Amino acid sequence: MPVADHPPPGELDPESRQASPPPTRDRSALDLSRPRRLHVCNAGGAGMSAVATLLVEMGHRVSGHDPARATPFLPMLLEVGLHVSTGPQPPTLGEDVEAVIVSTATPADDADVVAARARGMPVLHRAAALGAICAQRTTVAVAGTHGKTTTSALLATILAGSGREPGYVVGATISQFGRSAAWGGGGPLVVEADESDGTFLALAAHAGIVSNVEPDHLENWGGEPALRHGFERFVAGLDGPALLCLDDRGAAALVRHAKEPVTYGTSADADYRLGGVAPEGSGVRFTLDHTATGESVDVVVPAAPGAHNAANAAGALAAAHRLGVPLAEGSAALAGFRGVARRFEHRGEAKGVTVVDDYAHLPTEVAAALAAGSTGGWRRIVAVFQPHRYSRTEALWRDFAHAFRDADLLAVTDVYSAGEAPRPGVSGKLVVEAVLEADPWALVAWLPRLDDVLSWLRGVLRPGDLCLTLGAGDLTTLAPRILAMLEDRR
């Protein structure tokens, strides 16, 4: 059964909740070169709110509805002057509406969809609408199995800080901007290009970044070969440079498919070579060399620790450089970066314990977040992991075996379903088994409910600890409860 485009509490990057054929690039699906009257379904979701925001700021007349009473993205819509009706029953669709925009999860019997079809009105998928938006502007699409939200935010920060007046569409709030989407001025449009349902194939992008390609969303794609072929099509469809991370085997394999391949990473063969990675406060420091010119810059990225974020920043700097931003100017602009919601987000401190929340839910992401935490000078890392989706847990649970090596203590909850039906034999306990098979002496607790986790943390947290919550579901709601518990603990 389709579910709402908006994420459940705390989930900021909606993914396709059901298998669907990947969309194709189509510049003619919606003509946005003149003012239009449009209606957006599921408008309070991360993806749909971004589309609605850009449409409003482009000068179109937009209305919207969301079945949820409240979502984290409704304030952004109010800020741009778009009132969204909420609740299970939408008001009557306006007579002047020219097209309705839906998400993958909007059900076919949605009242707005039924009304639009009865009038012979176009009903367009979000991917087609986003593609039409991108067609109005030079677009940089940021893709990859993980890291695309942070990389998109870093690129938008570089372009804004260097006076390029970018627009941006990102799956989480960029802290220094206070929102996740804006049309901006006359500069490039930075778009987080989602591969989960094939949206990245529908974008009219000039340039693109691919940070990595790893198995995920395989049920939507029909297997790993189809997913990798999707990335090949994405890269081949770019009009300009494809920025590819040579440190990732999947991204490196795309070089031969790009019209204008540009590489970055720690490899000696990279066009933009990354080196000297080291912690710097709550962020990371590194050097970036442009091998073609010999230019070298020292880079400090605040609020984004870890080697993986150094690579993300290198990709963003390289892309900005190809768009005309000098490396030194781009590096200076990164001083304004203040982080992204749920990406190693500092949620507070209490009684000597630091609480950080991270969206990491794939094995590589979890390992990277914990590695970043290990550079922060805390005495111990107490990690809590919430597996995300039954399908993903069933496919990847063995791959978590070594992902938690930098955690001193680990608690694993049951699976956050994200709308999926339970599967026999699939639970968070599979992750526990994988960890203990790899290291029988690992200190791991199987705590299915969040209330169980809170009770466990009450007993184990000590001054000097980092409490790191990891997962894409409602685990993010635990952070304020942990802080309150610590304040009340005798």
C-alpha 323, offset from chain centre: 23
* Candidate list 106, 149, 150, 263, residue with the active-site label: 149
Q: What is the pTM of this model?
A: 0.85
Q: In what order do the strands lie in the sheet with 61-66?
A: 84-86, 61-66, 37-41, 99-102, 123-125
Pick the CATH number of 137-336 from 3.40.1190.10, 1.10.8.60, 3.30.70.600, 3.30.460.80: 3.40.1190.10
Which residues are registered as beta bridge partners of 141?
191, 208
Q: Any catalytic annotation for residue 149? A: yes
Give residue 490's pLDDT: 65
Catalytic residue among 106, 139, 145, 192: 192
DSSP-derived letter for residue 398 is G
Q: CA 222 to CA 430: how far, in whole Å?
A: 24
**Fold: same for 1-124 and 345-488:** no
CATH topology for the 1-124 domain: Rossmann fold (3.40.50)
Domain ranges of the chain: 1-124, 137-336, 345-488
> 165: Cβ–Cβ under 8 A, 6 or more apart, which residues?
159, 184, 185, 186, 187
**Cβ neighbours of residue 257 under 8 Å, at least 6 residues apart?**
232, 235, 236
CATH architecture designation of domain 345-488: Alpha-Beta Complex (3.90)
Tell me 92's DSSP state: P
Residue spans of the chain under pLDDT 50? 1-28
Beta-sheet strands, E only, within 395-488:
409-412, 444-446, 465-470
pLDDT in tens, 273-292: 999 999 998 899 999 999 99
pLDDT at 103: 87
192 an active-site residue?
yes
| CB-based burial label for 96 (10 Å; 0-12, 13-18, 19+) | exposed
What pLDDT sits at residue 465? 97
For residue 256, give the 3-state DSSP assignment: helix
Structure tokens at 142: 């940021």
Query: Distance between the two ends of the chain, CA-based, in angstroms?
Result: 47
- Per the residue annotation, which of 53, 104, 148, 263 is the catalytic one? 148
Q: What is the pLDDT of residues 140-184, one digit of tens each?
A: 999 998 899 999 999 999 999 999 999 999 988 899 999 999 999
Write down the pLDDT at residue 411. Answer: 97
The question of whether 148 is a catalytic residue gets the answer yes
Nearest-angstrom CA–CA distance, 378 and 368: 16
Q: Find the angle CA(168)-CA(53)-CA(3) to the nearest 5 degrees.
A: 100
Cβ atoms of residues 77 and 84 within 8 Å: yes
